[in-house]
Amino acid sequence: MLSRTGLRLSSAITALLVSQSTYADWELNMPQGVTQVSQSIYDLHMLILWICVWIGVLVFGVMFYSMYKHRKSKGAKASKFHESLTLELLWTAIPTLILILMAIPATTTLVKMYDSSDAQIDIKITGYQWKWEYDYLGEDVRFFSNLATSKDEIYNKQDKGENYLLEVDREMVIPTGVKVRFLITSSDVIHSWWVPEFAVKKDAVPGYVNESWVNVPVGKEGIYRGQCAELCGVDHGFMPVVVRALSQENYQAWLDDQRAAKVAEAAAAMGDFSYDELMTTGAEVYAGRCAGCHGQSGEGMGTIFPALKGSAIAVGDVDAHIDVVLNGVPGTAMQAFAAQLSDVELAAVITYERNAWDNNTGDTVTPINIIDARK
Ligand SMILES: [Cu+2]
């Protein structure tokens, strides 16, 4: 008879076995990926696997055969060959030879993986709790990439989308047929930038720059998804990596668009913004970028994340408030948002904080105030 716990456990296991979702990504083998390097890694894995399989078949075959053929009931007598020099030499030499043979393809693949020389594009990747920053060195293009999955999906108030927790607001974009080097670092704790299809998984360590690279073959344009692969705090599961590979032509067009958007944004910041416009944008920025720590209604969270509703800073001196949001509070989870948000977004979110949730200061902070504060 099964005990109650046993019954419960077995019905849970049965439920898991028959459920569709268990099999959704059912795949036994390693993915082959899309790059030459990921293919070499896959080939190496298969080669070593088959070597192991054949050694296993051989060793167990001989063993079972001998046990059966020379069993005691047939009157077999154990033979004694202690200190047989030939045998000892053989069982040392053969495995050594096999190991050396395996080391050759393994080293060749490793050398290929680590050779990031002659890259045509350098992208600096910085991990933050909990987002990535992509800086296209020498191109004047730099942006943050945040999780785009809504809180409602996460908290089951809405059905989960197809790319649940694997979607971002701004993707990294790279061209195909070009060697792209990644310079990977972190601004706070250890993260790890991982895209399985590229066979790239590199730790992002504060104070160090690790290198990796990818060359997505022409014809393999598309979207590649990954995640942070290093436990980096409570929202570790909420910092996906999304890379869009474009043809070289489209990549150039994308770069131009990014630069044009930046110019347009700077021009827009000089324009006039009404209180209502700022409050609307501010509410969006707040929900997306601040509510995770400060609460949906500025109520704060626990003892570490202060409430902004009625906070001395949010209803006090405007310049001090702007300073906290622009430069953060060193040594705390409050990051510097100066580089993460545009002038308009910063003005909007600060205006919002000063007037939402009964903060009612009546203050309007304009993008021009932010531009001045940046100086
Ligand atoms: Cu992380």
DSSP letters spanning 218-274: TT--EEEEEEE-S--STTGGG-EEEEEEE-HHHHHHHHHHHHHHHHHHHHHHTS---
357: CA distance to ligand 1 center in Å?
32
- Residue 193 is predicted with a pLDDT of 97
230: CA distance to ligand 1 center in Å?
6
- Residue 177 is predicted with a pLDDT of 94
18: CA distance to ligand 1 center in Å?
33
Other Cβ atoms within 10 Å of 230 Cβ, number: 18
232: CA distance to ligand 1 center in Å?
5
- State the number of CA atoms in the 13 A half-sphere of 257 facing the CB: 7
Instruction: Name the residue among 95, 117, 98, 94 with its Cα closest to residue 106.
Output: 98
- Residue 24 is predicted with a pLDDT of 54
**How far apart are alpha carbons 372 and 316 in whole angstroms?**
19
- Residue 16 is predicted with a pLDDT of 63
- Residue 25 is predicted with a pLDDT of 65
64: CA distance to ligand 1 center in Å?
49
- Residue 23 is predicted with a pLDDT of 54
Output the tens digit of pLDDT for each of the chain's 375 residues: 456 777 677 776 776 666 555 555 677 888 899 999 999 999 999 999 999 999 999 999 999 999 999 998 988 888 887 888 998 999 999 999 999 999 999 999 999 999 999 999 999 999 998 899 999 999 889 999 999 888 888 888 888 888 999 999 999 999 999 999 999 999 889 999 999 999 999 999 999 999 999 999 999 999 999 999 999 988 899 999 999 999 999 999 999 999 998 888 888 778 788 888 889 899 999 988 888 888 888 988 888 888 898 888 888 888 889 999 999 988 888 888 988 888 889 999 999 999 988 888 888 898 888 988 888
165: CA distance to ligand 1 center in Å?
13
Task: Return the H-helix or E-strand segment holding 112.
Answer: helix 85-114
168: CA distance to ligand 1 center in Å?
14
- Distance between the two ends of the chain, CA-based, in angstroms? 77
**How far apart are alpha carbons 280 and 352 in whole angstroms?**
8
Bond into 132 cis (ω within 30): no
138: CA distance to ligand 1 center in Å?
26
**How far apart are alpha carbons 228 and 130 in whole angstroms?**
9
- Residue 188 is predicted with a pLDDT of 85
- State the number of CA atoms in the 13 A half-sphere of 79 facing the CB: 5
- Residue 68 is predicted with a pLDDT of 93
- Residue 104 is predicted with a pLDDT of 95
Tokens of 114: 């680590």
27: CA distance to ligand 1 center in Å?
25
Q: How far is CA 159 from CA 72, 186, 287, in A?
A: 65, 33, 20
231: CA distance to ligand 1 center in Å?
6
- Residue 3 is predicted with a pLDDT of 67
- Residue 225 is predicted with a pLDDT of 95
Q: What are the backbone angles phi and psi of residue 302, rounded to the nearest 5°?
A: 60, -150
The whole model's pTM is what? 0.77
338: CA distance to ligand 1 center in Å?
21
Spell out the SS3 assignment of 267-280. HHHCCCCCHHHHHH
204: CA distance to ligand 1 center in Å?
8
**How far apart are alpha carbons 346 and 270 in whole angstroms?**
14
370: CA distance to ligand 1 center in Å?
30
> What type of residue is 142?
R
- State the number of CA atoms in the 13 A half-sphere of 335 facing the CB: 16
Pairing between β-strand 121-128 and β-strand 180-186 as defined by DSSP bridges: parallel
228: CA distance to ligand 1 center in Å?
5
